[in-house]
Structure 1
Amino acid sequence: MSCDLGLDTTITLLGAGVLFMLALGLGVWKYRQMVSAEDHRAHPYVDIAHRAALLYSFATLLIAVFVELSAWPAWVNLTAAMVAVFFFLAATVSYITHGLLRDTTNQFERRTRGTAVSMTMLIVGEIGGFGVVFAGFIAGQLG
């Protein structure tokens, strides 16, 4: 049995699944830290990585719905969706890195020029990527 989803939707759903599986794995890491720590808390960035991956997986699922209902060509939808998903993954990987290194409990404590550039790119990528797909949904469903 096969669904007639477009390739853009299928790949976006695959991204949601990857993020959700990552979140589940991060939940195990978080649990292991909680049971072995004196205060029964995971490192703040392990906790953040787990929660972010969970939220990003559902955000990607939501984007997949808008991709499926968008009026834009598949390559536009796929490109826009993958820009957002790339930044979802990049943010999660940065949280994982801080959790592994235990180098900070606040990555903005020692900001650099690179931090501002990275955050600007993330903001433009996530909002822009979704904005394109959302505009396609509006054009396709309400236009």
Structure 2
Amino acid sequence: MSPTLSLAQHLALAATGLFFLNGLLTGVWKYAQMRGGDHAHYYVNIAHRTSLMYAFACLLLERFAALSAWSAPVNTAAVIASVAFFAMAVVTYMVHGFLGDTENQLERPHKLGRATLPNLLITGFMVALIIAEIGGFLVLLAGAGRGLGWF
């Protein structure tokens, strides 16, 4: 590990690379589906685009972690919270794309292949995702604001 980069920065940069690679690979998957028909499955498209967007979002997390005045454990936890839920979202999109089971994962009943998932599970996951992604970034934003002397 580089002595000039914190653990939070290393994790965010690793996530950047992995999300970008996943975006490229899901782009091949999308292309293969398009060659076999009119279009790729809705969630294959979503997985492709969100992987690319999350790659760049992780670069933002890295920069804000680098500028943050908070402690290394606080910055690391904030990066992990955001990145973990970014990854869980993309994996969910990929699973739905592979199964071809829905074009709206929030539509009730919640389908996963032939199974039906409980409403509480989906709602709980979405609430946790919102808290982790927004909360993780707010921690880094506030830390960077403090580090840059904004307040």
Relative to the length of structure 1, the TM-score reads 0.93
Aligned residue identity for 2:134: I
Aligned to 2:47: 49
Three-state SS of the structure 1 residue aligned to 2:63 is helix
Q: What is the rounded CA distance, in whole Å, between the counterparts of 1:4 and 1:113 in structure 2?
A: 43
Paired residues, what number? 140
Q: CA deviation at 1:134?
A: 0.7
Among 91, 94, 105, the residue aligned to 1:93: 91
Across the aligned residues of Structure 1 and Structure 2, the Cα RMSD in angstroms comes to: 1.3
Three-state SS of the structure 2 residue aligned to 1:106 is coil
Among 123, 126, 136, the residue aligned to 1:119: 126
Name structure 2 gaps, 5 residues minimum: 111-118
Aligned to 2:114: none
Name structure 1 gaps, 5 residues minimum: none
Q: What is the rounded CA distance, in whole Å, between the counterparts of 2:29 and 2:89 in structure 1?
A: 18
Aligned to 2:115: none
Aligned to 1:10: 10
Q: State the identity %.
A: 46
Q: CA deviation at 1:4?
A: 2.2
**Pairing 1:65-76 to 2, within 5 Å after superposition:** 65-76=63-74
Aligned to 1:108: 106
Q: CA deviation at 1:3?
A: 7.6
Structure 1 segments, 4+ long, off by >4 Å, are none
Tell me if the contact between 2:6 and 2:72 (Cα under 8 Å) persists in the aligned partners: yes
Q: What is the rounded CA distance, in whole Å, between the counterparts of 1:6 and 1:78 in structure 2?
A: 8
